[in-house]
Amino acid sequence: FPGSMAGRVQALAAAVDRDWDGDASAIWTKGNPDGPEVLRRLQALPGFGEQKAKIFLALLGKQRALTAPGWQETAGHYGKEGSYLSVADITDPESLAKVRASKQAAKAAAKTAKAAKAPAP
């Protein structure tokens, strides 16, 4: 795991260096992009699928004052004001507890839904 994670970090750093002249903030600032463009740029990074890119976009908007038009809508439910769904919403121990509770509730709901779909023995 440590070796594979190191490789992932190196690939990400190489992409930022190559594509953004070593300035990670250029991903969300260069050319004054809108929310959908920032999402596209994030998804182009190694290791950033749709969900991780949306969470990162929400983090930029909620905690780093990103002003790209449409960022909230583009981030989907992660961009919703007052939500506690991801790292984008964690600012203190209380919000961390709310995010953990939200994740536990989502897992329980998924488990219940799966059980409801299972064929009867």
| pLDDT at residue number 71 | 98
- The set of residues, in sequence order, having a beta carbon less than 8 Å from that of 32 and lying 6+ positions away, is 68
The answer, as to whether pTM is greater than 0.85, is yes
Cβ neighbours, 10 Å, residue 106? 11
* pLDDT surpasses 90 at 113: no
pLDDT digits (tens, 9 = 90+) for 49-91: 999 999 999 999 999 999 999 999 999 999 999 999 999 999 9
Tally: H helices and E strands in the chain:
6, 0
pLDDT number for residue 97: 97
Q: Give the span between the Cα atoms of 74 and 79, in whole angstroms.
A: 8
Give me the mean pLDDT over the 9-38 stretch.
Answer: 97
